[in-house]
Amino acid sequence: MELRVCVLAAGQGKRMNSDLPKVMHALAGKPMIEHVLDTAEKVTTSPPVIVYGHGGEVLRAHLTSRVLVWAEQREQLGTGHAVAQALPALPPECLILILYGDVPLLSVDTLKRLVAAAKDSGFGLLTVNLADPTGYGRITRDTRGEISAIVEHRDADSAVRVIKEVNTGVMALRAEYLHRWIPKLETHNAQGEYYLTDCVEMAVTEGIRVASVMAASEAEVLGVNTRNQLAYLERIHQRGIADALMVQGVTLLDPSRVDIRGNLRCGRDVVIDINALFEGNVELADGVYIGPNCVIRDSTLGVGTRVLANCVIEEAHIGENGRIGPFSRVRPETDLGQDVHIGNFVEVKKSTIADGSKVNHLAYIGDAAIGRNVNVGAGTITCNYDGAYKHKTIIEDDAFIGSDTQLVAPVTVGRGATVGAGTTVTEDVEPGRLVISRVRQKTIAGYQRPRKEK
């Protein structure tokens, strides 16, 4: 039986106090709806049906790269009404897994257990025990221990409200049941809405067993209605990632002060200090050290590289045994070879720097190709922009660039050449030559500086 996923994502999320649709708020740098869809892709290859409503144009525009089926819910009249909008896209012969766009931490293992239960009985319901079940629909059971109904909190009496087992809203069941039951839903309840949970009572009436599956943890079934709840889930999610990294052999000097907003792959004996932020796809090879307060995005760092405090690295490749920082910025399209040093207050953009070269102090290297074993002195600038176009600076192997040099691109400094401190280079420098363009020093005796009149 084909498994189809239906994601309910039409809620406005009034308590978020935001113009952004609730499911578009980010968890670990990615909208909650994408977490749900990524998990769904791991249990079925069929395109999900997304029920959208408030802010739907924003949601649809964001998800254009995915293969999805869209169903609009123009009025938010309850979960049963939301599923009704999706039914035309859900063939009666399939099995439907109903998920929520604001419940982002469900695990693949939990969903697979739920689907297995639904395939066996025809109806699987995900439940969880909560220490404080206030606000949740309670699971009631018959004398045999089987689920008999779900009673929403507002409709529950005092005897039902003491029950700790609650409905998560997540269920898997045969589509033919929904096609039969959804048209029968009524709004005779405290909220005046069409409750999807009423399908449980209909199943019991027809003698269909509702198989319960307990969630692995409370955290994975928590939904988000406020920014406080979103922040709470963020910390839970980040701690889970941190724990997994440490099991793999990564040293986190404080697991509560590292954030991964994407995919972080680490080799052996990687050490990450406090307040590190990783975005996109980042790969750290064996023995990499990341100092405190660093931001690394979509980059690869080679074996033994050390990134010192307060560095930003974006869309770059850093070779083995590199040394970056402190206070360095490595910008996109930068490729550093082995044993390259990028020091404090150095910015590198769209440049290649070959093995053994050093740019250690207060420099800007942009649109440049630097060869092997080059030393770039403090205060050096590649003047790559003429106001309209970018131009390239080439510094060949073994060149020495003195401090406070301006290299006005396009320009080439030949192999083994030396540029004296304070030089402005506007023409190519031949290999092995020394070039100096600074003004000859003069000494004037008896000079008096201007003074203000009293």
Question: What gap in Å lies between CA 206 and CA 411, rounded to an integer?
Answer: 83
CB 270 within 8 A of CB 284: yes
Give 324's strand partners: 307, 342
Helix (H, G, I), strand (E, B) or coil at 77: coil
Query: Is residue 83 classed as helix, strand or coil in its secondary structure?
Result: helix
d(CA 211, CA 172): 10
In whole angstroms, give the CA distance from residue 360 to residue 339. Answer: 13
Strands (E), 13-164: 26-27, 30-31, 49-52, 69-72, 95-100, 123-129, 138-141, 147-151
Q: What is the C-alpha end-to-end distance of the chain, expressed in Å?
A: 97
Which residues have CB under 8 Å from 345's CB, separation 6+? 327, 328, 361, 362
Using CA of residue 424, residue 425, residue 427, residue 433, what is the dihedral sign? Answer: positive
Helices and strands, counts by H and E, the chain: 8, 39
- Cα 222 to Cα 81, 104, 129, 243, distances in angstroms: 22, 8, 12, 20
Exactly one of 62, 153, 361, 391 is catalytic; name it: 361
Q: What is the SS3 assignment for 392?
A: coil
The answer to whether 410 and 390 have CB atoms below 8 angstroms apart is no
35 catalytically annotated = no
> What is the Rg, in whole angstroms, of the alpha carbon atoms belonging to the chain?
31
CA atoms within 13 Å, Cβ hemisphere of 43: 27
Q: Six-digit token pair at 140?
A: 């009631």
Those residues whose C-beta lies under 8 Å from the C-beta of residue 434, and which sit 6 or more positions away, are 417, 418, 419, 420
Query: Is the separation of the CB atoms in 203 and 210 below 8 Å?
Result: yes
Rounded to 5 degrees, φ, ψ at 184 are -90, -5
Dmax (CA) for the chain in angstroms is 110
Active-site positions? 361
